[in-house]
Structure 1
């Protein structure tokens, strides 16, 4: 048999956990309330967690606990206590996003294995190596990687790799999305995503609406890799992850069951692998927004998105041959089976209901088949010719429910049983399971010689094989006994039950850990919050650089996602402008850099530093490791989601000159972080809300062929939501889409509050401003800072004077 990776299933609650285990999952991942990136799932309380872990471990299933949110300083002590409890209960690993929490775990709880969450946006080999060096056992890779890219990372690193194989997709690189929090105050990075990608938008070009097919412009299809499972296995990943902690238990049961069958089929005969029509239909029926391989098979272009349907579309079951304008009966010609209790929807319109009655030729029926014309009473107005979709199949759901609600478990553990019955000696039993756990139990009963009816080997085996509804089944049974002995049935039953109970305890207890209680204290301050306020400005053109430098910028971050457009001559000219103006200049690097792009970026970094650039603005973990290896000076960009003092300290200890903080922090939280190192806050500019590997404009206007006609180069594009807010789009040279906020961030009126809070580095994001605007904004902030330092008030400019539409972001409102 061929080796297959672990099948990892979601468990949003105890029923889903049972559904996953009973249908063949090798491992489950589940969340603890308040510490999970699926905060709206039921999740487990700390008290429920031990029961869940014990249930899984008894049945030979691993448990990974998701602690994959960004942690506020005020939450850290509780998080640390919860993590120690998780470790004590025997969790096999925790899944972590926060770099501060990760560094804490490696220092204080090294016994607990750590998996790096997909929220860490790990998408290149150097990122994997950095986390590998920190002792991370497994990396959950970004969903945007192709099988070729995954295979390349596998061949160059040692850490276990995990990828998603089924379920809902994030359209944005996970960990790089601020859309939900900026629009509604609910942070996807903290588990409260409001799913703005499933909302309706209108595309606009050069200010005019563009007529496109569908309005759900950011809504991807669901991932389904059943067809390409062999290629995924052969790419060398260690774990195959099913998304769905917010799905019902029947969904978990059905999807796990099918992928278990597919993996076992591959293991038995890789060359004969196939997916049956029934298996495909079941996956489609359980839940689908349309299916895609996403990026695993390469650039999906048009195959990634469904601009019409952001919800479960179901399976086509028929077409109405008569309709009504209101409530009443309609006739439906069936193209598939339909039952009372099924859920149905209509032509992807979002409205649906349950089938409560059904008539065929005037007679009430409970089920109907393909080709029949049936009459249904519907609450929704339906016209003739409307396609009807079965969104839930009651018979399938009941079947799935039976798979995990039966009194007799489907998931069982094999044991070898050996009984010794020797006259004059205590009755003994030995159980050994498939994990080499051994239990020996000696009865108080002393084996007697038979007086009338001897206990035969057949009699003994009959009782010992009665393992009933336990999780064990006998792989072998050996009886070593004298002839003509007598053992009461009660003694055999008691001994068997005692051995089974002891084996259950052993299988659970072996994973438990004990710790000395510790009180978490805050890390020591790095220094006093003093210094001269510095104004940094991000620019991507020489004109904007010149404007920023002329108006008094102290630091320049030069560059953007299109780093290939910068030649040696461009870098030299940028450096000369900065030097003449007395600015320090740094090379800004992208947040997303694939392996195939790293060498070229490294060459650019080397060239910039040779020219005289002061260092590098680092936007992802892979570039961080590259810069560290070369011994270069660097500043951490806000893409790395620094949310707490331990993250600030981690990056400073790694060699950072300064750390740009997450824009989701409040000013109060920022104030406390300034004592742990040199921090920087973005105070003006258009915040980036999403980075999307797929080109949104290209998928809508780029033509039907495999090659896009690059419509993004012909005009300025934005998307408008249902409330009329407009979000600019930028497509870079790699055909990635960058979505920006509808409102400009402006804190000009609040600079004094930042200085009082101990913040002395302020960032203006000017890469997407025109030159005149750059001059106005930089001059306004420079003057305000000078006034505050000199205690003179000569200018009365405010945010209203420099920004048409602005927001103060999260600094005074915070996020969930």
Structure 2
């Protein structure tokens, strides 16, 4: 039997919350004023969250609260109090990214369900199993997964699976984007993303500008899965998530109501499922950068990007046939209806549009125009003939949607059954029961009298008791028996009905609440007693030439492998092992950041082989490969993409079996100092930091000939330039994933003493994107700096453009 999925709606403010509830959402996700991944949404105070939970539970709707950012150590106490409050209020789950916060929630409020945020980058079955073993109730999968991959994960797991079905897409895997924080200190992992992906870029190959048919090279279209909804339901997805906590409430109302109808339509008659043109038009009108579902289809090269403009397109409303310069009016031949108050925009203009304040048809002012009319409309910018005009906002649609969340009477109703036995000489008695099994039984102070004149009829009693007015209840059935001739004042019937309504409302609300905690203090982190005698120098390489450079430069530890970039061959692991051992160096096998279920078998074999020949351990970057490496009995280094950002997350990873932990590159030096006191930590100190990893293949998209991959990425050096002319190199791996590197090279050679003093166990040079000769030179300089025998020199001596990353500034 096919299970009906939950429809999960966003709420960035109170109006959006009401819009979601009234338009059919099964659950709503919302955030507090802090610790949520949409810091620029309106969000909710804790008191407002409590009220929202009560209102939702009264209507049979669940509420999930986002606490899905990386948490600074000084925020842990506040986060602990928030978790306890949310549990007491009756939140149905918290959505979490930080592994330390996840562990804290399990310890403080084990009764509060946990959902793993898409920010945790869960994209394979092993990652889901890892979280399942931790007691997580639900995993929000990465947006990049195909329908077949989702099916595989669902079949392999015993916990709930949630996927996005509508709204904005990220170009980078969520949780793995550092572009916003590296450019301006606003971390997406902390809820402060500045959306640099929606800015203009130029692409160069070997220094020459490439024509890209639009400058918004990192701006994806919006997700729309209406046509694929049946397959997603049949795949067993438990929850369909609509993106949009930054969107206006009318958007929430329209998208939620549309998906509500579509889900119900499929469940009622799967064979007759359809999406009407009117429903498609509503979704297109509310917000679109054009629509796509290419990831779900298993495609990552074409049909995904909105390169021409990064904002809402609306729907085509007509074509410009002229421009009146004197009155600054565009002359438009309409292809659909337009009316005063609608918003319009013009093709090719960055200006998102204007509202129509006047419209002239045949020399007369009109309130609206329809298909075929040629109208004049005031428009600030001159637009050339032949351009499309878009209706970016449909006033009538917005007005109708607004009524759904501004009506004083609840639209969403809860069916109840009422039962009453009425007899003279007895108190008036009423029972009210809802479909969830909540029941109340109330008696009035009034004793039913024998009628002296005109008796109160059974129909009159039913009529009065069924007037549930502005309450959320509506009568499903009535069972009222009146014995004999009785008289009951209208007021007595109203009073007992209102009393029953009040008590049933309280019963529905109280059912979800939990007992308050006696104590809600985050426990002290148990730090390790043993610290390393010296700080080790680690170098990450991916071929024999870089390996030789790292050894010659004096590296203590070598990480070999990882993603295989285009134009390169995988390393010979046995040869690398023998070389390191002959030189007295430790060697760890590195694994890719993103590993699909299809590729997990290969990684498993690699780990097994590395274990057999004597590697010192494995470096892992996602929870799936972490689980595999632990199962293989290897010493595990939890790498920086796992976003260990505080003492709690460090302690959690150690408790889960990590031998060493590479700290998040978004941490400041003072934060590093705090965590380093707890044990063995590693910091990346040099190299081109990866600011994005994307399943989208930009080069394949731009240079595809229709006959398959052009392999253009192997033929030249590609770089993105932003509006300030900063250069971001692009490299592709053999799985056609795109890696965008920072515009400047990280260099901490001048501050290495501070990291050593802080107790950092290892510092790492990320050398996989360096020339082999440079690997040796840079490694030598850091060797000198760590040994302290002589001055190691300046950053300018070993790199052209450099940055200290976040060590000196931290992130919002």
Q: What is the TM-score when the length of structure 1 is the normalising length? A: 0.98
* Corresponding residue number in structure 1 for 2:600: 598
The equivalent position to 1:631 in structure 2, one of 630, 633, 654, is: 633
The equivalent position to 1:667 in structure 2, one of 661, 666, 669, is: 669
The equivalent position to 1:812 in structure 2, one of 792, 808, 812, is: 808
* Aligned structure 1 segments of 4 or more residues deviating by more than 3 angstroms: 324-327, 563-569
Aligned equivalents of 1:302, 1:706: Cα separation in 2: 13
- Deviation string 1:253-282 (CA, Å, 9 cap, x unpaired) is 000111111111101110000000101111
Evaluate the alpha carbon distance shift between residue 103 and residue 573 of structure 1 in structure 2; reply closer, same or farther with a 3 A threshold.
Answer: same
Q: SS in structure 2 opposite 1:700? A: helix
* Corresponding residue number in structure 2 for 1:481: 482
Q: SS in structure 2 opposite 1:303? A: coil
**Structure 2 residue 696 is the aligned partner of structure 1 residue 694:** yes
1:201-216 maps to which residues of 2 (within 5 A)?
Answer: 201-216=201-216
- Deviation string 1:481-533 (CA, Å, 9 cap, x unpaired) is 21101111100000000100111111111111112233324212222555211
Aligned equivalents of 2:584, 2:199: Cα separation in 1: 47
* Corresponding residue number in structure 1 for 2:279: 279
* Corresponding residue number in structure 2 for 1:724: 725
Deviation at 1:392, TM superposition (A): 0.4
Deviation at 1:613, TM superposition (A): 1.0
Deviation at 1:96, TM superposition (A): 0.4
- Deviation string 1:587-625 (CA, Å, 9 cap, x unpaired) is 000110000001111111211222221110011100011
Aligned equivalents of 1:326, 1:293: Cα separation in 2: 45
Alpha-carbon contact 1:117-1:139 (below 8 Å) kept = yes
Structure 1: gaps (5+ residues)? none
Deviation at 1:709, TM superposition (A): 1.7
Deviation at 1:348, TM superposition (A): 3.6
Deviation at 1:407, TM superposition (A): 2.2
Q: What is the TM-score when the length of structure 2 is the normalising length? A: 0.98
Deviation at 1:3, TM superposition (A): 3.5
* Corresponding residue number in structure 2 for 1:740: 741
Evaluate the alpha carbon distance shift between residue 348 and residue 9 of structure 1 in structure 2; reply closer, same or farther with a 3 A threshold.
Answer: farther
- Deviation string 1:69-93 (CA, Å, 9 cap, x unpaired) is 0011110000010111011110000
Aligned equivalents of 1:348, 1:256: Cα separation in 2: 30
Aligned equivalents of 2:755, 2:629: Cα separation in 1: 30
1:197-276 maps to which residues of 2 (within 5 A)?
Answer: 197-276=197-276
* Corresponding residue number in structure 2 for 1:108: 108
Q: How many residues align?
A: 810
* Corresponding residue number in structure 1 for 2:649: 647
The equivalent position to 1:543 in structure 2, one of 539, 542, 545, is: 545
Evaluate the alpha carbon distance shift between residue 394 and residue 564 of structure 1 in structure 2; reply closer, same or farther with a 3 A threshold.
Answer: closer
Aligned equivalents of 1:779, 1:22: Cα separation in 2: 65
* Corresponding residue number in structure 2 for 1:98: 98
Aligned equivalents of 2:658, 2:299: Cα separation in 1: 35
Aligned equivalents of 1:29, 1:322: Cα separation in 2: 47
Aligned equivalents of 2:654, 2:633: Cα separation in 1: 14
Aligned equivalents of 2:412, 2:3: Cα separation in 1: 21
Alpha-carbon contact 2:2-2:234 (below 8 Å) kept = no
* Corresponding residue number in structure 2 for 1:447: 448
* Corresponding residue number in structure 2 for 1:299: 299
Alpha-carbon contact 2:104-2:522 (below 8 Å) kept = no
Aligned equivalents of 1:2, 1:657: Cα separation in 2: 44
Q: SS in structure 1 opposite 2:443? A: strand
Aligned equivalents of 2:32, 2:638: Cα separation in 1: 30
Aligned equivalents of 2:23, 2:251: Cα separation in 1: 11
- Deviation string 1:155-206 (CA, Å, 9 cap, x unpaired) is 1111100000000000110011111100110000110011111111111111
Give me the CA root mean square deviation: 1.5
Aligned equivalents of 1:299, 1:129: Cα separation in 2: 26
- Deviation string 1:766-815 (CA, Å, 9 cap, x unpaired) is 1111111011100000001111xxxx4x3351111011100000001010
Evaluate the alpha carbon distance shift between residue 799 and residue 78 of structure 1 in structure 2; reply closer, same or farther with a 3 A threshold.
Answer: same
Aligned equivalents of 1:700, 1:135: Cα separation in 2: 44
Alpha-carbon contact 2:160-2:238 (below 8 Å) kept = yes
- Deviation string 1:336-356 (CA, Å, 9 cap, x unpaired) is 000100000001422211100
- Deviation string 1:634-681 (CA, Å, 9 cap, x unpaired) is 111001000111111111112222100000000000001012220000
* Corresponding residue number in structure 1 for 2:798: 802
Deviation at 1:294, TM superposition (A): 3.1
**Structure 2 residue 514 is the aligned partner of structure 1 residue 518:** no
Aligned equivalents of 2:806, 2:463: Cα separation in 1: 69
Evaluate the alpha carbon distance shift between residue 180 and residue 569 of structure 1 in structure 2; reply closer, same or farther with a 3 A threshold.
Answer: closer
Structure 2: gaps (5+ residues)? none
